[in-house]
Every structure is written in structure tokens, then in C-alpha cells.
Structure 1
């Protein structure tokens, strides 16, 4: 029985793959164009600060487009609606917490600087003053003063980068965090190189500093979300494995056809099969069972509980155990359904369930049965099929103190009885149950020589289709 769906609001829809493909292609073309400009900029005069600035911006643009391409690739793979909601909510949460996001173009978050080692002159671009949160009329920071605005734990990194550049001539490429005068912490990416004089000595150092605070924040959001998704997937896999193991431990262990009772005339040839959902990995609370009772009669039952996973399989195990015990004690199907209803009502974990309980007497060939909001058994005889008229019964756990009626039907040798849960319903059935399709199988079931062959026919019909949930089918063939 599928769990009720909330209709409070529509689920967020993933982007169309075609649209994402277009964006990826555009990003690749733009990346190629910028890369061509970057290659031309490598050939320019190193002594021209304006051209060095152009080359540095090209480097940043290529890196940014590479990151964009990677993110679009992840978007094409697709995220769950829950993950999409979380990603969409993160920026709003960050803004509500006052991160101080600054609007503007990429250029407003990139500044340049040059420190002359011979004259101690420092030149900052207007954008760099804005990045550091300093008034334009203030003095730019020297290399000795620059570490003072960094977080203490990042100061050694900057010192190491600057020393390697000035002493060893190595280019600078690193990130650090600054504490601005307004109390905001920003993450800066610094790229720089030494400028050599005619003798090959370091005369000055230039650098491009980029505010990457929002980029790093977005990356952290993606990392946290990815880790969260991985944890959820791991938990889901673990829960599914436990639910499957519990289900396999509770459902009957027999495979193939089963003869009940094992001796005497009028025995039933019984076979059953569990069909997992084609659209979800979640395990539901479906069950089937066939059991020989102490008085020689046979119990046949199928049922379904709302919910999925461990809670559903745990509740199913409890209910099926109680059903078996009461059937062995000789309680008739109608009264048995009433006791199951009381059991679900008193359970700590509320649930609804539907079920059929049948008791077959091989001596009189009489089937006594009761149902609780469940599809009626289908009786196939002489190449035709029909549902049995259902006695009154409501869903288990839906109401208190209700009575469940029971009915009797006489079966003939060669009759085929099909019990199923409503998970057999296919999405293409448009609200109709599976009975019409099952009844259309009557000619094939009439030619079947065993209950196992009948089950195989049903599974072939439904096994490869997209159904609303997992399902069980049980077939009993009356012998001579």
C-alpha cells in the first residue's frame, strides 16, 4: 500500500538536460576564446603593468570558467529535490546571518598592487582599497604591514609566499583571510611575480588579489551538501539492507511450489513471489504466507502495511507473527482480522494495513475468508476468471471496534486462486487496479500445469513494468 503523498507544494523539478548541455557548450566556447587571449598575453612585454594585469585577469577567468564547467557537469548528473532545496536555501541563510555579500561585477572584486623594493613605494588599485575595506584616501599597506590584517593562523602562509617570491623568485599563488575594519572576514586569492631589474635582481613585486569569499562559500555549501547526500545514501543503503534481511527472515523460506496439506486428497499447490518496486529502492510492508494448520486445513494470506523501510518491515513482522499464531490457535478469519485491527490500534507506531486471510478445508473443499480493505481474491475456473464477492471489512487500524465479516466459497479441482497486494498496479493503469489485467491472463493460467507456472505468468506480465510500489502475489491451485 503506497504511503500517502503530501500535496502541500509541488516538488522542485530538476533542470532540463538539454538546457544544461547548451550552457556547457557555451562555457567551453567562451573558455577557448579566453584561453586564446591568455596565450597572446604571455608574449607581451613583462615590464608593462597594464599587460601583466590583463594576463592575470585572463588566468582568473580561465580558472573561473573551468570551475563553472565542473559545476554544470554536476548539474547535468542531477541532484535530488531535497538537495536542490538545500542548495537553494543556503544563500538565503547566509544572507540572513549577515555575511555581508557585496554586489558587483568580477572586476569589483579584483584589485592589483605593486611594491617597489628600491623606493619603498606602494601602488594599489582603487578596487584593492574596496576589497580591504579601506578608504581610498588612506595609505596602501606595505609588505611589512600586510600581515597585520590577516587572521593570525594565515600570517605564516603569507610570509612564506612573499619570502619565496622576493628571495627565490618564485611566483605567488595562495589564499588567505583578512579581517576588515568593518569586522567582516574575507578570503583573498593572491597571484603575483617578482619584477627583475637589468642585473636580474628583484626590484619590485606585483600581485593581483581577488576576493573569492563567495566562491569559497559556494564550494563549502556544495561540499557540505555532497557529504550530507553521501551520508543519507549510506544510511539509505544500510536501512534497505536491514529491511531486506528482516523481510527475508520473516517471509516463508520455501521457493517453488508447495503442497498443502502434504498428504491426503484435495491438497493445494501453492506458489508465491515478491516483486520489488521498479521505481524505488524502498522496501515496503508487503507479505504473503501459506501455512498448514494443526487440524489439516491451510492458511493463505497476503497483506500490506503503509510506509517503507525498517519501520514497515518491523510492523509487518509483528503482524504476520500474530496472524500465524491466531490461525494455528484455530481463530476463524473474520475474528482474526478483528484481533489484528486491535493490535495495530494499540501499536506504538501507528500504521494502516490491508489484508486477506483465507482458510481452506481440503475435506469439504471450502474456502473461508475475510478481508480488510484489500483487493478480493481472483478465482479462475474453466478458462475464465472473476473476483470473489468481498465480505465487509475496513482497513486495519482505521477504526475501533469494527466487525469483519467472512464468507465461504466451494472450490473445484483445477480451480486457480490468485491473491495479490495492490502494489501490482502500474502507473499506466490510470487509477484502475490490476484485476482487469490479471483476469485477461485466464486462458494462459488455464493451460498452466502448476502454481509455480501461474506465478511465472504473472511475474512476466508485471515484473518489467513500472509499478506504484512493491507487491506480492500468491497462487493456489486446487488438486483432485
Structure 2
């Protein structure tokens, strides 16, 4: 504080001209700019103190004469200086240009400068040039950094979009076409595979709906751990293995036994969940097993409930643990919903809350309007999951509900 007061006192003793000169010098330092004059007839050159700083030049060496100025300009920018000088002597208005200078050999670095020139006029024409020179190196470096950052961001976005396109194309090539479900009497099938909204990564969610050689309908859904191409590769192996194993006609729990062996011995550092079942179109019995997966939802008479879950460990978690087989007799008007955890699980809420929302929304799904019903269900529970893919497979049993038999739901090992 004493120094400031003392400085103010000293300024108070200066003349107006000295005070103005001090303020002008201060402004030049703050703006990193200075002024220069070149007299064409006498060759006299005058620089302000800041111009010496910009050029990295010792004031004892004196200013650079106009004919020598090009030697200090980066060769690629000499043409810009020539155009500026020519325009300045031909015009009565200020002209400007930007170019790079190479500072003295002691520093040797390049500086970006902006030079504004106007002629010093006399009755016979211009007798010299007056200019303002500003070092804009910092500004141009910042602009180049911003431009490079934007370029890298655009490249990253394009790469992410391309990766997402490739992954979606790969998923579409691996998973069955939703428009080509097997046609069964009195049965409707619909599926929704919803990728995460805010990421290009694709999970290992998968589904299957295909006829078996004995006339039953194979229904399956699952989720392989991880994201990206490794998860898709493991998902493809698991799903294709199931399609092949299902040709044996063996029950769902036996299929899970074999898939567990596959994950344990072939898909290293991988786990997976799955629900696999067979729907007999004649008896409407759904015989199913699960491996660490959420139980399907059954919608009957406007009430949605989860099926009793048979025992079954995560695929790839343990060897020799048996999978139970459950049987559920469906009725006309029933809707069966198989889904992956991405449908109900969110980082911001407990999975039980998501399940409650799904049950409430599922109560309005009808087999006769299955496509629109699945869309409403997804909307009612909060839309696509931003962190994880979600897969939803719906099966509707058509026909007159009044003609249904009264066989109870059951679960048996």
C-alpha cells in the first residue's frame, strides 16, 4: 500500500506530458503492442520501446530499417508483408496484415504479429509510414489449440458413430430379424431390443424365438457380461451354441447345463444370465429354466406377476450345479414377457423399484396388441436405459379366454 501511494505521489510530480507517456507505455505493455515510423526519404526509423520487446531486439542495436524488415519475416510470409507495404503507400486509409517474424538469434522463436500501417502524408504525397505492431502469438496459439481440439472432437464423434454403426450392423447380423418370427397358431410374438442412448457400446443382450424340430417354440433371452465387441462375440457364441443344442430336443435345464460348460471352458473371464424355455402350442405349456436371470412376467386377466423362479446359478459361475425345470400352463389371453435387467435396472434407482414399475406397466399389455403394448411398457418405465442395453421378448396367447382350462400354474424340479 505504501508503494502504491508512493508511486502515485511520484506521478503527481510529473508533467502532463510525462504522465501521458507513462500511461501510453503501460498500455503498450498490457496490449503487447507498440508503434513505429519509417521515413521514406531520410531512411529514419523510430520504434517505441515495446516494438523492441516484440522483435526480441536490444534497443542498443536500434530499430530495423524498412528495407531490412523482410529479413526478419518468416520466408513463407514475406509476400504478405510486400502486399501490406504496397497497399500502405497506395492508400490513404490504414491497412493491416498478419505475418510471422523470427526473433533475434538469441531466442529464435516465431511470433505472430499484426501490423496496421497508414501513410505519413505531405503535399507531394506520402513521405513515410506510421504503424502499430501487436504481438498476437498467444491469441493465435489459443485459436490453434481450440481448432485442434474441435478437430479431435469431431474425429472422436465420427469414430464413435462409425463404431456404433458397425456394432449395430454386427448385432443385426447375429440376432434374429424381429420381422421374421415363426408363425404359430393362436400365438403372437414381438421383441424390443433397445440400445443404450448415450453410449456407442453395445452389451451382450440377446434373444431367440425359433421352432424346434418337435413343433415346440424355443424362447430364450440372456445377457453376457461386458460391453463392446468382446461381449458381442461371446453373445454370438452363446446364442449360436443354444440354437445348435436346441436341435437335440432336450429340455431347457439340460440346455443350460451344456451352455454352462461352454462358458466355463471356452469363454474365459465371462459370465452370463439366461432364461430358456419351450412353449408347446398344443398344450400351451411353457417349460423353462433360468441361470441367474430375472424370472419372466405373466400377464393374466389384467394382473401382472413374476413367475416362481426355479433354481439356477449364473452361467460360468460354478460347475456341476443342477438347473431346475419349471412348467407354466398358459391360457388364451395370457402374455408372457421375458426381459434382461437393462429394462428395470438403473443407476439412480433400486432394481426392485424398476421391477414394480415394469409389473404395473405390463398389466396393460394385451396379446392382440403386443407391438404397441411393448412400446407403451418401455415408455411407462422411463424409456431406454442410458447405461445399458435392454431386451424385451413378448409372447401373447390368442383365443377366447372363456374357453381356457383351469389347470393351475406350477413349478416342478
What is the TM-score with the length of structure 2 in the denominator?
0.77
Pair 1:132 & 2:52 matched:
no
Q: Is the 8 A contact 2:260 2:315 kept in 1?
A: yes
User: Counterpart of 1:64?
Assistant: none
Q: Is the 8 A contact 2:305 2:359 kept in 1?
A: yes
Q: Is the 8 A contact 2:178 2:191 kept in 1?
A: no
Q: Is the 8 A contact 2:279 2:287 kept in 1?
A: yes
Shift of 1:290: 0.8
Structure 2 vs 1, CA of residues 245 and 478 (structure 1 numbering), >3 Å: closer, same or farther?
A: same
Pair 1:381 & 2:300 matched:
yes
Tell me how far apart the structure 1 counterparts of residues 220 and 281 of structure 2 sit (CA, whole Å): 17
User: Counterpart of 2:396?
Assistant: 477
What is the TM-score with the length of structure 1 in the denominator?
0.67
Q: Is the 8 A contact 2:194 2:389 kept in 1?
A: yes
Q: Is the 8 A contact 2:289 2:324 kept in 1?
A: yes
User: Counterpart of 1:23?
Assistant: none
Pair 1:285 & 2:210 matched:
no
Pair 1:236 & 2:236 matched:
no
Pair 1:458 & 2:377 matched:
yes
Q: Deviations over 1:33-82 (max 9, x none)?
A: xxxxxxxxxxxxxxxxx9xxx9xx9xxxxxxxxxxxxxxxxxxxxxxxxx
Structure 2 residue corresponding to 1:190, chosen from 110, 115, 118: 115
User: Counterpart of 1:406?
Assistant: 324
Q: Is the 8 A contact 1:257 1:450 kept in 2?
A: no
Structure 2 residue corresponding to 1:357, chosen from 276, 279, 283: 276
**Aligned runs of 1:365-376 on 2, under 5 Å?**
365-376=284-295
Q: Is the 8 A contact 2:252 2:288 kept in 1?
A: yes
User: Counterpart of 1:330?
Assistant: 249
User: Counterpart of 1:122?
Assistant: 45
Structure 1 unpaired stretches of 5+: 1-49, 58-103
Structure 2 residue corresponding to 1:172, chosen from 83, 93, 96: 96
Aligned length: 373
Q: Is the 8 A contact 1:256 1:271 kept in 2?
A: no
CA root-mean-square deviation: 3.4
Structure 1 residue corresponding to 2:138, chosen from 204, 208, 214: 214
**Aligned runs of 1:243-262 on 2, under 5 Å?**
243-255=167-179, 259-260=183-184
Tell me how far apart the structure 1 counterparts of residues 361 and 83 of structure 2 sit (CA, whole Å): 79
Q: Pick the structure with greater CA Rg.
A: 2
Q: Is the 8 A contact 1:256 1:452 kept in 2?
A: no
Tell me how far apart the structure 1 counterparts of residues 42 and 132 of structure 2 sit (CA, whole Å): 20
